[in-house]
Amino acid sequence: MYKQIVLLGNAQDAGRPQIGCNQKCCTDARLDLNLSRMPVCLGLKGESFGLVEVTRRVGNQIFLLGNPEISEVWLSHAHLGHIEGLGQFGKEAFNSKNIKLRCSSLVVDYVMKHPIWKKLIERGNFTFDKFQTDRIVPIEVPHRAQDFDTHAFYFKGENNKILFLPDHDSWEKTLDFVGYENPMEWFNSLGCTVVLLDGTFWHSDELKGRVQSNVPHPPVRETLDLIGKRREGNPRIVFIHLNHTNPLHYPDSEEYLELINLGWEVGEEGMEFNL
Ligand SMILES: [Zn+2]
Ligand SMILES: [Zn+2]
């Protein structure tokens, strides 16, 4: 049974700095390593250790967790940034033995279609295992489901109930799918005390050069309008999965201050949550 969740990365799939970006967000982070951020990953800590998501920074993220032996890996979905570290467990690198890989059956199919990841299973680096335990429950959410499905994870601890929702397309689709009117109603129905929530973009026109609809996530601006100011009894809401362009990377930005003043939080690497 896990006692704690450690946030091992707060950035969107590609991290910060992001390849090819010559804006201030990434030129700054290339010059000052203190500004660089790893993609979203959770460390699960107890008598044994696990990871949720396997990013390309998995080595650093396991180190941040204290370099323990990892016995299981959970995947929310199979977009590259969430699974590209799998190869690091293979023969050319760590060569792990039978780490439990817990993902949905559609993600299993997707992994098995990929010649490189398939080898990790054939060689026994990973073994597929159940996608639900007494304490960790996946909840399906709509998120560009062409090749596989996407899940949030609900962690049922003795002290805290934590929802991890790094990627979803829109509140409209998600709320319709789970059957609630607004995000807080959904979080309350689960008895959440902490929500680690998709905060990819601050605003819907943040990706000036790209069509936003190609990368759908509800902007934090919209989420704040839906949840308002934190009231007694509300869970902590911690925004994660920040795109390199997101002003929430800067604690002195107006946007960051607005969010904090409403009573919410921005995730930081190394943050710990008791279960
Ligand atoms: Zn993502
Ligand atoms: Zn950038």
Paired with 137 in beta bridges are 154
Residues shown for the chain: 275
pLDDT mean across residues, the chain: 95
Residues ≥6 apart with Cβ < 8 Å to 62: 43, 51, 68, 70
Distance 32 CA to ligand 2 centre (A): 13
Radius of gyration of the chain (CA): 18
Paired with 273 in beta bridges are 5
Side-by-side strand order, sheet with 72-74: 126-129, 99-102, 72-74, 49-52, 41-46, 2-9, 272-274
Distance 235 CA to ligand 2 centre (A): 31
Distance 247 CA to ligand 2 centre (A): 11
In this prediction, residues 89-108 reach a mean pLDDT of 96
| Amino acid 208: pLDDT | 67
Distance 251 CA to ligand 1 centre (A): 22
Distance 265 CA to ligand 2 centre (A): 22
| Amino acid 145: pLDDT | 74
Ligand closest to 247 (CA) is: 2
In 3D space, the residue among 199, 156, 166, 139 whose CA is nearest the CA of residue 5 turns out to be 156
Which domains, from first to last, does the chain contain?
A: 2-274 (3.60.15.10)
Could you tell me the pLDDT band of residue 144, with boundaries at 50, 70 and 90? confident
Distance 257 CA to ligand 2 centre (A): 21
Ligand closest to 37 (CA) is: 2
Residues ≥6 apart with Cβ < 8 Å to 12: 39, 40, 81, 200, 241, 242, 243, 244, 246
The model's pLDDT over 27-62, given as tens digits with 9 standing for 90+, comes to: 999 999 999 999 999 999 999 999 999 999 999 999
Q: What is the pTM of this model?
A: 0.96
210 vs 69, residue with greater confidence? 69
Distance 127 CA to ligand 1 centre (A): 23
Could you tell me the pLDDT band of residue 209, with boundaries at 50, 70 and 90? low
Ligand closest to 10 (CA) is: 1
